[in-house]
Amino acid sequence: MAEVLIVDDSATMRLALKTALKQAGHVVHEACDGVEALNKLNEGLKVKAIITDLNMPNMDGVTFIQTVRKLPGFKFVPILMLTTESSMEKKEEGRKVGASGWIVKPFSPEQLLAVLKKLGV
């Protein structure tokens, strides 16, 4: 069991992620965009993994990951990019800023959990 932060502007997607993660025994925290997620992390939230959307209002996933990687204690926390984007350019951009993995929507709960397991979560 691990604490996981979900960052997605879609309430439906957050619910799908939360359901899959909770059924696997994880504790889930939610944020609707990168700004809200950063506020939670800066207020002391400690998580074992972060799953973030790429395209969000206020702060996109790439900027969010870039910023999280600079926070003390978050340099090595696995961050999964969850998006409809599947181009190599976007994947490379995510990798460059510190994304640990990439899941293309739509996804299955089994796929999500398998990727987290591979990352040690």
Q: What is the pLDDT of residues 45-93, one digit of tens each?
A: 999 999 999 999 999 999 999 999 999 999 999 999 988 877 888 888 8
Q: Is residue 50 part of a domain?
A: yes
Q: What is the mean pLDDT of residues 97-118?
A: 92
On whether residue 114 sits in a domain, the answer given is: no
| Beta-bridge mates of residue 84 | none
CB of 51 within 8 A of CB of 78? no
- Tell whether 45 is covered by a domain: yes
49, part of any domain:
yes
Long-range CB contacts (< 8 A, 24+ apart) of 94-99? 94/54, 94/61, 94/62, 94/65, 97/62, 97/65, 97/66, 97/69, 98/65, 98/66, 98/68, 98/69, 99/65
Q: What is the CATH number of the domain that holds 48?
A: 3.40.50.2300
Element (H, E) at 31: strand 27-31
Q: How many other C-beta atoms lie within 10 A of the C-beta of residue 16?
A: 18
pLDDT confidence of residue 106: 87
Structure letter (DSSP) for residue 24: T
Does 113 map to a domain? no
Q: Please tell me the predicted confidence (pLDDT) of residue 88.
A: 83
Residue 11 lies in a domain: no
Give a yes or no: residue 76 inside a domain: yes
Residue 60, both tokens: 């996109």
Asked whether residue 102 is assigned to any structural domain, the reply reads yes
Q: Which range marks the domain in which residue 86 is found?
A: 36-107
Q: What digits encode the pLDDT tens for the residues 8-42?
A: 999 999 999 999 999 999 999 999 999 999 999 99
**Residue written as token pair 């790429």:** 54
pLDDT value for 94: 87
Please count the structural domains in the chain: 1
According to the model, what pLDDT value does residue 118 have? Answer: 92
